Amino acid sequence: MWIDCEMTGLDLAADALVEVAVLVTDSALTVLDDGLDVVIRPPQAALDQMRDVVRHMHTTSGLLSQLADGMSLAEAEQAVLEHVRRLVPEPRKAPLAGNSVGTDRGFLARDMPALDAHLHYRIVDVSSVKELARRWYPRAYFAAPTKAGGHRALADIHESVLELRYYREAVFVPPPGPDSAASKAAAERALAPRSATSPAPSSTASSTAPAVSPPAGTSSAPGVL
C-alpha cells in the first residue's frame, strides 16, 4: 500500500496534511489500480505559519491554489479508507510503502487513525534502500533514474514505485534468489564472531575496489549508518 502525503511542514505539533494519495501494487510492484488523490483544506493557522520554502513549493506545484476547495480531514480519511478497504479488505495485511514514509505515517497516525490502523505496522521505505545502495552499490546509486520531485502526492508515489523497481533490478539478487545451502552459509558468515586477530575495517575503500566518481555537485562520502 503506497501512500504519499503533502503537508504544510514536518512539525507534528503545528503542521497539517494538505494532500494524501494512495496506490496499490502487488509484490512484484505491478500497479493494481489508478490510485486516489485527495486534497485537504487545512486550518488557517497551519497556512499562516508555513515556511517560505514550503509555500513556494506548494505554489509551484499548483497545490496551494486548490486548498480552499479541498475536503475536510474527516471526509478525506473516509475517502482514502474506503479506497484502501476496497482493494485490501483485510486489516493489518498491507505494509505501508513510500519514500521516507515514516514521516507520512506520523501524520496519518495523528489525523487518520482509522486508516493507520488498517495498515500493517511494518513499512517499506524506498529511501532506506536508496541509502544502502549509496553505501554498498554506489554505481547503481549514481545511475538511478532522476526523479521529477514535483511534490504532488500521486505523481510522487508513481516515482517511488519506479525507484524501487530500479533498485530491485540493479542491486537485489535475481529471483528466486539463493538456494537453501547458500542462504545457510550466508547466515553462518553473518553470525560468526569476528576473530580477535582480524584487522579492524578500514575507513577507506579497499585498494582493489573500483573507483566510483559521483556526478558533479554530489558528495562521494558514504556517510554512516
Q: What is the pLDDT of residues 14-68, one digit of tens each?
A: 999 999 999 999 999 999 999 999 999 999 999 999 999 999 999 999 999 999 9
Position 150 scores a pLDDT of 86
pTM value?
Answer: 0.83
Task: Give me the number of domains the chain comprises.
Answer: 1
187 located within any domain: no
146 located within any domain: yes
184 located within any domain: no
Is 121 among the residues known to form the active site? yes
Identify the active-site residue in 121, 137, 141, 166: 121
Question: Do the strands 2-7 and 17-23 form a parallel or antiparallel pair, or are they unpaired?
Answer: antiparallel
pLDDT digits (tens, 9 = 90+) for 68-113: 999 999 999 999 999 999 999 999 999 999 999 999 999 999 999 9
Q: What is the mean pLDDT of residues 160-180?
A: 95
58 located within any domain: yes
Q: What is the CATH number of the domain that holds 58?
A: 3.30.420.10
Contacts of 215 (CB under 8 A, 6+ apart): 142
**What's the CA gap between 176 and 121, in Å, rounded?**
26
175 located within any domain: no
> Nearest CA to 158 among 143, 170, 142, 147?
147
Give the structural domain span for 161: 2-170
72 located within any domain: yes
Q: In the predicted model, is pLDDT for residue 120 greater than 90?
A: yes
Q: In the predicted model, is pLDDT for residue 214 greater than 90?
A: no
Position 204 scores a pLDDT of 43
Q: How many residues does the chain have?
A: 225
pLDDT digits (tens, 9 = 90+) for 127-155: 999 999 999 999 999 999 998 888 999 99
Q: What is the DSSP string of 32-60?
A: -S--EEEEB---HHHHHT--HHHHHHHHH
